[in-house]
A and B are shown apart, each in its own frame.
Chain A
Amino acid sequence: MIRYIVRRILFLIPVLAGVAFCVFTLLYLTPGDPAKMVLGEMATERAIQEFREREGLDKPFLMQFANYVYKAVTRGDIGRSYVTKRPVMDEILAAFPATLKLAAFAIVIAIIIGLPCGILSAIKQYSIFDTAAMIFAMIGLSMPVFWLGLLLILLFSVHLRWLPPSGFDTFQAMILPSLALSAQSISMITRMTRSSMLEVIRADYIRTARSKGQKESVVIWRHALHNALIPVVTLCGLQFGQLLSGAILTESIFAIPGVGRLMVDSIKARDYPVVQGGVLFVAVAFSLVNLLVDLLYAYIDPRIKAQYK
């Protein structure tokens, strides 16, 4: 098990190297001169030249990349923001708590609502509840998050005046963004739980459990649910990883100072080091969440555990 974890963490290295290279290349090829963006259109030729020299932008592409990797590996230094002049790491770490909080809230909401809905839908297949849940899941899946966010703001902030339309410092302020962000996850978890449960309920070992004279509730709870949850756990993990990295729209709409908004702002300002660092950070977070899910997977499924050696 330990060996497996170590191996998985070592696997992160090529992944991160690949991500770093791709982002670096894309940014290099992006039109727009960071020097002009940072110093303004009126900057003198000299100032621009100095900026490019200072930031190493005058060097050939591969040199720039090698330099970046060298500093990152030896000193953990992934550059300074062109705009604020602060280290990129500080910028990201300052923005991360808001994103983490948002993603955690959203995934918890998604699990609390999605799981029971999926289970009930499966147990009462073709009932009114099942149909309603599936319709809502369809709506939730197809509704773009920015649209849903705007509708929520319109209803709860503008008309009803119950909740603030932006910010993320109070509990009330967190409700709307979390809800908007979790809509798709709720739908996916509901649907996945339902179909997984339906498959398991028809399994032979469920019939075996019933033939022992076990109560239906225990059959569902102990035998069916545990087996049905296995694919759902994977989905929840993937969703959480996505929420961590993909809250860009939600953060923009609700003006939440998270990693997503930091990256959008940096892209607009051609603040390359921050964009680069942000993408790397998200890649690490996503990979670690996935590792965690795989470990959890081994914990709930003994067949998988046998393979981790």
Chain B
Amino acid sequence: MNDLLEIKDLTIHYVTDGGTVRAVENLNLRLGHGETLGFVGETGAGKTTTALGIMRLIPSPPGVVKSGRIIFDGEDLLTKSEAEMRAIRGGKIAMIFQDPMTSLNPVMTVDKQIAEMIRLHRDVDKAESLKLAGDMLELVGIKRERMHDYPHQFSGGMKQRVVIAIALACDPGLLIADEPTTALDVTIQAQVLELMKKLKQQFGASMILITHDLGIVADICDKVAIMYAGRVVEYADKRALYANPTHPYTIGLFNSVPDLDEDRESLNVIPGLMPDPMDLPAGCAFHPRCAYATSVCSESKPEMMEAAPGHFVACPIRGRERK
């Protein structure tokens, strides 16, 4: 069976007067039908840029898609016209944004914002679209009588539910959720995640979940891609990755999750900082912070290798060890 989404060698740069930001570099990724992929990395690793790249919503200027292919349902999205893309956005690929406080139009009632999505992709009249919008609200757990309210009348968690209702309104094959719970407090986070998990199954959609929370990944994802400085450095089944984190960066990430049973004064951290994306280190971008680094690491960019079946890692040293 073909994958739903396959990204090949995607490179996205932001060209500014101050220099070129290499936000995404030769990124490869695949996502099967019905799968949930956790897309993990630090702030600035290029997760959101990748997501916007799939939607073809990179702000341009300064954003430029330099090269690569984004194959969705057998067709390359990067060769599509703007009109073709509009049919795909919302209809086939929908996105949930990070901050529900600002991602809804403040001067439009929520039912109209959902109905707008429905009317763009389905052949229904205005009254029908508003009725369907009410159905969507009920589906995400908001009472129907609140459909004529404005976003400011809802709490943060409720707003995110509305955003989810918009995203799912046209039954998209792929849902991209960009840190959907980061802006919410913890109890609401759990509710919203539970809802997304449930609806994803109900709608049979695939999902890319962008997050930096390994706990969330463990909770809902099937596959995990770890991103560092614009590249995927490790990609594997969730269980395989959690059992055998292979890339040094992934290992660092797992070590930095505090263990409640351990009595420690300070947290484990990965030494050093994320490199400046305008001035990435030669070779492997992680090598200056890496405990396993050898002279090879600063010379050539590591290729993705299959350390174990289905477990890919972009580190020749650790990869070979595993083999």
**What is A's interface to B at a CB cutoff of 8 Å?**
203-205, 207-215, 223, 226-227, 230, 300-303, 306
Contacts and interface: CB of A to CB of B under 8 A. Distances in A.
B163 A208 contact: yes
Given A212-B116, A214-B116, A303-B152, A223 B87 contact: no
Given A211-B95, A226-B108, A227-B106, 15 more contacts: A204-B97, A205-B106, A207-B57, A208-B105, A209-B105, A210-B57, A211-B57, A211-B94, A211-B97, A212-B120, A213-B120, A223-B108, A227-B105, A302-B152, A303-B107
Contacts of B108: 223, 226
Contact of A208 (B86, B150, B166): B166
B88 A208 contact: no
Interface SS of chain A? helix
A132 B105 CA distance: 31
B86 A214 contact: yes
B197 interface: no
B31 interface: no
Contacts, number: 73
Contact of B152 (A207, A214, A300, A306): A306
A157 B108 CA distance: 50
B55 A211 contact: yes
B90 interface: yes
A223 B105 contact: yes
Interface in B191-218: none
Contacts of B152: 302-303, 306
A263 to B, nearest CB: 40
Contacts of A214: 86, 90, 116, 120
Interface SS of chain B? mixed
B45 interface: no
Nearest to A305: B150
Contacts of B117: 212-213
Contact of A205 (B57, B94, B105, B121): B105
A303 B106 contact: yes
16 contacts: A205-B102, A207-B97, A207-B103, A209-B105, A212-B89, A212-B117, A213-B121, A214-B86, A214-B116, A223-B105, A226-B105, A227-B106, A301-B106, A301-B107, A302-B152, A303-B106
Contacts of A300: 107
Contacts of B99: 204
A181 B121 CA distance: 49
B104 interface: yes
B105 A211 contact: no
B91 interface: yes
Contacts of A209: 105, 116
A212 B105 CA distance: 13
A208 B112 CA distance: 13
B71 to A, nearest CB: 19
Given A211-B57, A211-B95, A205 B150 contact: no
Given A212-B117, A302-B152, A205 B103 contact: yes
A227 B87 CA distance: 26
A212 B88 CA distance: 9
A211 B89 contact: yes
A204 B103 contact: yes
Contacts of B95: 211
Nearest to B94: A211
A207 B117 CA distance: 13
